[in-house]
Amino acid sequence: MAPAKLTQVETMNRILALKNQGIPKDAVHDVFVGKGLVPPSEPTIRKYYTMEEAPSTEQAKEAYEKPKAFDDELCKPIIIATLEANGGKLKISSLYDLLVEELVEKGKLGQLPGNQQTLRNYCRMLIAKGIVQKEPRERRAYDSQMDPPAGEQIQLDYGVQRLKSGENVHFICLLLRNSRKLFVFPQDHKFDAESTCRAIYAFLCILGGRVRKIVIDQESCLIYEEKYGEITTTQTFRDFLCEQQMGLWVCRKADPQSKGAILPSAYCNHEDLGKSPFQGLQRSTLQYNLRVIIFQIIVIHRTFCSPLLCFSIF
Mean pLDDT by 10 residues, the chain (314 residues): 78 84 86 86 85 64 71 89 79 90 90 91 86 71 72 85 79 82 84 92 88 86 82 91 90 66 53 47 40 36 42 35
Whole-number pLDDT of residue 140: 66
Torsion angle defined by CA atoms of residues 44, 47, 50 and 51, in that order, rounded to the nearest 10 degrees: -110
Contacts with 214 (C-beta within 8 Å, 6 or more apart), sequence order: 153, 154, 155, 156, 200, 241, 246, 247, 248, 249
pTM of this structure: 0.48
pLDDT of residue 37: 87
Which of 195, 178, 183 lies closest to 260 in space, CA to CA?
A: 178
Q: What is the DSSP letter of 50?
A: T
Alpha-carbon span 194 to 83, nearest angstrom:
51
pLDDT at 184: 82
Can you tell me the distance from the alpha carbon of 76 to that of 2, in angstroms, rounded to the nearest whole number?
A: 51
pLDDT computed for residue 306 by the predictor? 44
The whole-angstrom separation of Cα 312 and Cα 255 is 11
Instruction: Count how many Cα atoms sit within 13 Å of the Cα of residue 245 in the half-sphere of its side chain.
Output: 2
pLDDT at residue 279, as a whole number: 43
Q: What's residue 295's pLDDT?
A: 34
Residue type, 253: K
**Residues 170-194: tens digit of each pLDDT:** 888 888 878 878 788 888 889 999 9
Write the single-letter amino acid at 14.
Answer: R
* Size of the chain in residues: 314
Beta strands in 190-301 (DSSP E): 213-216, 223-227, 230-233, 247-251, 296-299
Q: Which residues contact 286 (CB under 8 A, 6 or more apart)?
A: none
How many whole angstroms separate alpha carbon 108 and alpha carbon 96?
Answer: 15
Q: Report DSSP state, residue 229.
A: T
Please report the pLDDT score of residue 23 as a whole number.
87
Helix, strand, coil abundance in the chain, percent, nearest 5: 45, 20, 40
The CA–CA distances, whole Å, from 217 to 40, 70, 158, 195, 258 equal 75, 48, 9, 16, 9
- Domain boundaries 147-313, CATH class: alpha beta
R_g of the chain, CA atoms, integer Å: 35
**Edge-first strand listing for the sheet containing 213-216:** 296-299, 181-187, 168-176, 153-162, 213-216, 247-251, 311-313
